[in-house]
Every structure is written in C-alpha cells, then in structure tokens.
Amino acid sequence: MYTNTKTRGSSRAPNYSSRSNRPSGGNHGGASFGNRSTRPSSGGSRSGSGRPSFGGNRGGGGRNKRKSSYERIDVSRFISKSTVVEKEEIYLPTHTFGDFKIDTKLKLAIANKNYIYPSPIQDKSIPHALEGRDILGIADTGTGKTAAFLIPILNKILKDKNETAIIIAPTRELATQIEVEFNDFARGMRIFSVVCVGGMPITAQIRNLRRECNVVIGTPGRLLDLVKRGEINLSSTRSVVLDEADRMLDMGFINDITFLLEKTPDDRQGFFFSATLPKPIEKLIERFASDPVKVMVKTRETSKNVEQDVIRLARGEDKIDALCDLLSKENEFKKVLIFSEMKHSVEKLSNELVKRGFKSGSIHGDKRQNDRQRTLTKFRNNELNILVATDVAARGLDIPEVTHVINYEIPQTYDTYIHRIGRTGRASKKGVALTFVG
C-alpha cells in the first residue's frame, strides 16, 4: 500500500517503494443514406459526403440519462500484486484471412495491413457473419472486434452498393477509432462513411448525410437526434452494430439504442459486442437478435500484468501535493492516465498540474471534439505524458504504452475500476494502477 505519512506542505514523497505483499482481491428498399451525388475518388469517411438515406420521421429528440449510484467497494480489491505469466495459452486460428470467402479487394486491403491470422473473435465470428448470421460477441477492448464486424459489412457493400450499415458506439473517441479502421479497410473502394457524434457541428454532419455514403458511425444521442430530425432513415438499414453495449447501458443510453433498433427492419443483420452481459443488455439482444452465434473471447477480470495498490493520505495532507510527488518520479511515471469523476474537477486538476510544470492535458464531455482529439493525439505521441480524464476515456480507447493509471477519486463501481485500469498493462507489458483512498 502506498501510505503517505508526511504532513501538509512537506516535501517527503509517498512511500512508493515500500510496498508489502498483499492478498489479491440488393437494394433492400433502396437504402442509400441520402440523395446521391458525385462521389470523391477515394474510399473512406467524408467531411462533405452524403445522406445515407437513413432519413426518418421528423420530430424532437432527447435522451433519458440514468445517474448511476455509488457502489460500496472493499478497498482491498484495489490491491493486487502483478504476477509473471510464464506461459500463456496460445490460440491457434482455424483460418487465415485468405481463407475467408470475401471480395478480392477486401483481401488485398487486409494484406496491406499485414494481417495474416485472425484474432480469436475474428476467427470465430467472421465465417458466421459472412453467412448473414447475427453475432453476439463477449469481448474486451483490444481483442480485434472492430475488424470482426467491419470486414463482413464491407464485403456486403462490395457485393451491393445499396447496402447500408449503422455502427453505434458509446463515446466519440471510440466512434472516431472505428472510422480510422474503416478508412484503412475501405481505401480506394469508393465506400464512404459519416461520423455523427455530439460535440461536433450537427449542420456539417447533416450535409455529409445528404451525400452518398454506406455507413454511419455515431453515438446514441446524436444518432437519435438525427433520426428524429428526419436526416437518418433506418427502415432499410441492412446491418446494425452495437459496440460496447454494456458501456452504453452504464452511460444511460439504453432507451436511445432501443429506439434506434426499433427503427431498423426485422431482417437486418446484427452485431452485438459487449465486455459483460448485464440483464438489460441480455434482454435487448434477445429482443433484437435472431438466433445469434455467441462468441466469447474474454480476458481475465484484471490483467495479471497490472500491479494494483492504494495511496492513503495522512490526516491534513494535501492530495494534489501527494499526486505531484508521485508524478515527479519521471523514471517510473512515464505515461500516466489519471481519472477523476467530474468534468470540472478534471479540468481543474489538469490546469494545476500544468502550473506545477507537468506536461498534462484533459479530456471530458464539455470539451469540443476537436480539442479532445488533439489532446489524445498529443498523449499518444508523447507530447504530453499525463492525461486527466473522466470515464469517457475508461473504455474504447487504445492508448499504447500507458505505464500508470491513477484513480484520483474512487470510481463509482468496481466494473468502472476494471475498465479504467485496463488502459495499462496491455500487450503483455507491465502496468501499475493506484487509487487514492481515505
């Protein structure tokens, strides 16, 4: 346990090094997403592209957000020594990407990404998806699930340019990441996407929707708004993806995604991905999926590569001073993701760290999408080594080389804690997760 015994204003650092061993805790109705116009010459997303005739009934919109209550969490669950995994079980795929019955153009795009062998979720789900089956994937971030739904969807569109799809993601960042991977696969195919997320001008998104595209990628609230404005019509959508469905439940989007799914035809193909399967999501899938193929590719609850510990403050000790003492250990705290609960506290904490000489940035829901993306890029490129965030960053983001996750405030639920600390200790590398308590 990281126990700091200094008094307020002292320069003594928390007892970071004196840990003791602790217990582990065809046309299809002419779906064109909009009025067709001349396309640009290359594939990918568009900033001025067309209205997937995803256009629907007009009307007002809004979302019913649920305020999650705090869960009492035993602090001992935040303490766990990392263990060395001497030998991991290696998954042996039954296919190569070349074995899949997909268009030659798509095979070439996959080869250009140097993909040869599919990940477990790709290997187990893509053959069924290519047959038109609904897919239920129980999988964490980083398992390759994005390609597991993009490859079958792109193959359908290559066969019939009237095919359309909608991909629903919980956060703007995840939607943007999906768009990037979509562009990699679709380059040169003249297949286009539009990203529709909050925090970006809706007028530009409407302009893009009114031009030709096959795929809309977005967050539930903005998609709901566009459906109710009549700019997206889901009645002839051939494929629907729910990515990180449990996260959307946590964020209070269950009513929004139910509304959106109700607007899609009964015979559309569904791709449902979730790290966990809480009852409301299970019921949602039972209602909207038709005999889905269930593919489970779950990693362990918390990575064995993540060493977890707590930081206890002495009576009267200043929390920000304790944090700065930790961050000053540059040889250890090389790339740090700090979580705080409230948007205003995230901004305040990041600004204070900058004043104290740290290279810090922040992302939260009140920041414009361009600003959030710019900050994330700087963090990825090591122009910043500290990122302070709300739980908008806890899932869906693949940020490499994060050495430490610090919970500046205890998360509301243990599930949230698991997702937060999953940002470190990735790709078999060691990470550290620290939580301020008391």
The C-alpha atoms of residue 53 and residue 212 are separated, in whole angstroms, by 8
Q: What is the pLDDT of residue 15?
A: 44
The CATH number of domain 44-297 is 3.40.50.300: yes
3-state secondary structure of 185: helix
DSSP readout, 63-91?
Answer: -----PPP----GGGG-B-----S-PPPP
Q: How many CB atoms lie within 10 A of CB 113?
A: 12
Could you state, in order of their start, the residue ranges of all structural domains in the chain? 2-23+301-437, 44-297
The C-alpha atoms of residue 83 and residue 129 are separated, in whole angstroms, by 37
**Phi and psi of 217, rounded to 5°?**
-115, 125
The C-alpha atoms of residue 393 and residue 413 are separated, in whole angstroms, by 15
Report how far apart, in Å, the C-alpha atoms of 85 and of each of 154, 194, 243, 430 are.
38, 42, 30, 11
Tokens of 259: 């509304």
Q: What is the pLDDT of residue 34?
A: 47
Q: What is the pLDDT of residue 54?
A: 53
CA 23 vs. chain centroid, Å, equals 31
The C-alpha atoms of residue 70 and residue 311 are separated, in whole angstroms, by 20
Report how far apart, in Å, the C-alpha atoms of 306 and of each of 44, 138, 411 are.
37, 22, 17
CB 130 within 8 A of CB 163: no
Q: What is the pLDDT of residue 326?
A: 92
pTM higher than 0.85: no
Q: List, edge to edge, every strand of the sheet that includes 2-3.
A: 2-3, 306-312, 431-437, 404-407, 336-339, 386-389, 360-363
The C-alpha atoms of residue 198 and residue 370 are separated, in whole angstroms, by 11
Tokens of 134: 């609904």
Fold of 2-23+301-437: Rossmann fold (3.40.50)
3-state secondary structure of 229: strand
The C-alpha atoms of residue 232 and residue 224 are separated, in whole angstroms, by 9
Instruction: Tell me, yes or no, if the two domains 2-23+301-437 and 44-297 fold the same way.
Output: yes
Q: What is the pLDDT of residue 407?
A: 95
CA 78 vs. chain centroid, Å, equals 23
The C-alpha atoms of residue 137 and residue 77 are separated, in whole angstroms, by 27
Q: Please, which residues have CB within 8 angstroms of residue 92's CB and are 6 or more apart in sequence?
A: none
pLDDT along the chain (438 residues), means of 10: 38 37 37 42 45 43 44 73 49 87 96 92 96 92 89 97 96 91 94 93 94 94 96 95 90 93 96 90 95 82 77 88 90 92 92 96 85 89 93 69 93 82 79 89
CB 339 within 8 A of CB 406: yes
Tokens of 18: 């004196």
CB 388 within 8 A of CB 340: yes
